[in-house]
């Protein structure tokens, strides 16, 4: 008599069956009126359709650019090679842009992976934690005091993408195409993504502003970030960039050089 499998063996066998790797688990399946193979197909198809739909939801621009048939074929291949490792489908698909970048059939759309990366950053932004923005007057008062060192904490929803392609323009066109088509000049775009109220917002940044915000996000103090921005563009306007961040409620806290405990504990990050 064959010994009954352990729970782990059953779970592993079910996983393999769901992803088409092995049908060895069939002998232990009660079909409840169906053949075991048919019962497993129901589960297999349900999981597949749920994961593909999750990718469709996370990557609307990529879907619009390649069409439903191509996207579903790519999503099917992706889910088999990159099984979900979380019970939360919102975490599923992070590696999809890299998968598209290395997919031979997508080679003609060299911008596709970056547009997909923008799709994913939008999802991350939408799901990010919420914090109260720093009061603009308090920020202006602190800046006017000109502390020796100042660190800013940016809103958790803020994301950045630097692309050699016009990823933002392509993304926007994919969602609202026009009869005149999309005219590109071959330039790349640097994009900032954030959550504004209940909506995800995006805007293009100039090179220096992108460097500045990226440095702040990497926990550089304002002076260090400012120097990096000036290296990118000697005409960088620090005050204007800060006003824009404040106006969009993208600064949530700050620490000064005098606040050594907060800096040591990264309390403002």
Report the distance separating Cα 93 and Cα 78, nearest Å: 8
The pLDDT of 7-29, averaged and rounded, is 63
Share of residues in the chain with pLDDT > 90 (%)? 59
Nearest in space to 116 (alpha carbons), one of 173, 188, 62: 62
Instruction: Give the per-residue pLDDT at 42.
Output: 67
The pLDDT of 85-110, averaged and rounded, is 90
Q: Which of residues 229 and 255 earns the better pLDDT score?
A: 229
Rounded to 10 degrees, the C-alpha dihedral 147/149/155/159 comes to 140
Report the distance separating Cα 252 and Cα 200, nearest Å: 17
Position 243 pLDDT exceeds 80: yes
14 pLDDT band, cuts 50/70/90, is low
Position 260 pLDDT exceeds 60: no
Instruction: Give the per-residue pLDDT at 180.
Output: 87
pTM of the predicted protein model: 0.84
Instruction: Give the per-residue pLDDT at 248.
Output: 95
Helices (H), the chain: 7-18, 36-58, 60-66, 68-81, 96-101, 112-127, 136-145, 167-175, 207-217, 222-232, 238-247, 260-264
Q: Which of residues 38 and 234 earns the better pLDDT score?
A: 234
Position 156 pLDDT exceeds 90: yes
Position 40 pLDDT exceeds 70: no
Lowest-pLDDT range, 28-42, 48-62, 109-123, 210-224?
28-42
Instruction: Give the per-residue pLDDT at 1.
Output: 45
As given in the structure block, the two tokens for residue 204 are 């293009």
Residue owning tokens 């919420």: 130
- The residue ranges of every structural domain in the chain are 1-109, 110-269
Instruction: Give the per-residue pLDDT at 147.
Output: 65
181 exposed, middle or buried (CB, 10 Å; 0-12, 13-18, 19+)? exposed
Highest mean pLDDT among 5-14, 54-63, 81-90: 54-63
Q: What is the pLDDT of residues 167-201, one digit of tens each?
A: 999 999 999 998 888 888 889 999 999 999 999 99
Q: Would you give the distance in Å from CA 197 to the centre of its chain?
A: 18
Share of residues in the chain with pLDDT > 70 (%)? 79
């Amino acid at each position: 008599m064959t010994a009954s499998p352990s729970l782990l063996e059953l779970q592993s066998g079910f996983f393999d069956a769901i992803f088409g790797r092995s049908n060895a688990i069939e002998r232990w399946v009660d079909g409840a009126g169906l053949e075991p193979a048919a019962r497993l197909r129901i589960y297999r198809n349900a999981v597949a359709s749920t994961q593909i739909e999750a990718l469709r939801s996370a990557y609307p621009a990529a879907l619009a650019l390649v069409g439903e048939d191509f996207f579903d074929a790519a999503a099917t291949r992706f889910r088999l090679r990159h099984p979900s490792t979380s019970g939360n489908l919102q975490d599923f698909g992070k590696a999809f842009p890299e998968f598209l970048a290395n997919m031979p059939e997508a080679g003609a759309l060299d911008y596709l992976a970056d547009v997909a990366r923008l799709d994913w950053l939008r999802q991350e932004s939408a799901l990010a934690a919420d914090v109260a923005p720093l009061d603009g007057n308090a920020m202006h008062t602190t800046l006017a005091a000109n502390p020796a060192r100042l660190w800013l904490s940016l809103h958790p929803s803020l994301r950045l993408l630097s692309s050699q392609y016009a990823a933002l323009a392509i993304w926007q066109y994919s969602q609202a195409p026009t009869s005149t088509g999309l005219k590109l000049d071959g330039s790349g775009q640097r994009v900032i993504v954030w959550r504004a109220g209940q909506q995800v917002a995006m805007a293009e940044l100039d090179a220096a502003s992108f460097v500045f915000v990226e440095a702040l996000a990497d926990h550089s103090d304002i002076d260090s970030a400012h120097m990096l921005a000036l290296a990118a563009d000697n005409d960088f306007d620090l005050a204007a960039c800060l006003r824009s961040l404040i106006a969009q409620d993208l600064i949530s806290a700050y620490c000064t050089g005098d606040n050594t405990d907060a800096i040591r504990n990264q309390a403002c990050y």
